[in-house]
Amino acid sequence: MIAIVDYGMGNLRSVQKGFERVGASARIVTLPEQIEQADKVVLPGVGAFRDAMAHLRDMRLVEPLVAAANSGKPFLGICLGLQLLFDVSCEGGEHQGLGVVRGRVVRFDFTGRPELRELKVPHMGWNEVTWDRDCPLMRGLSSPTYFYFVHSYYVDPTDRSVRVGRCSYGIEFTAMIRRGNLYATQFHPEKSQSVGLTMLSNFAAL
């Protein structure tokens, strides 16, 4: 069973419908024991990093999520779910994350670069993701591939070897990471039409 973690911040139904469209069974869960019992875990999310971490703490989900991400079972973070895996975010101050992946979450900043004045923040819409190396979730996808993004912050991993996908928006940033069976994307597979469904299908097949 694929557990989609509901901590009050995310379009969960669209993620669940994406898995259903590829024939996978996915349940929306809220309890620590449901995460522990799941075969695979998905951590989606939209919104503010600080609020998300507060919800996770209040619901006693921090330790189960860290354990799941480090357990070797397939784990997928999406958008804010990617950012929460990192040590710290600079969104609205400095806030501690789950600390599963070393690195920081930082804001797009084009100050002092007038040639980029037409770029808006948040980065919203379709953009190309180029793969740095092979990854099971990319089976059947070419490089580069267009995915759908909505975000003002991006992750900056300490260990660049975790990056498997990159994107350019004024700067080149990490669009996808992998460490063993831990995967996470800044883009939204569930909003990325057929290519996103391919990725969700590949995850379900792990």
Q: Which of 91, 151, 167, 190 is catalytic?
A: 190
Catalytic residue list contains 190: yes
Catalytic residue list contains 188: yes
What φ, ψ does residue 174 adopt, rounded to 5°? -75, 120
DSSP letters along 109-157, please? --TT-GGGTT--SSEEEEEEEEESS--GGGTT--SSEEEEEEESEEEEE
Catalytic residue list contains 20: no
Q: Which of 33, 79, 123, 135 is catalytic?
A: 79
Q: Which of 123, 151, 167, 188 is catalytic?
A: 188
DSSP helix/strand/coil, 42: strand
DSSP letter assigned to residue 46: -
Task: Please list the active-site residues.
Answer: 79, 188, 190
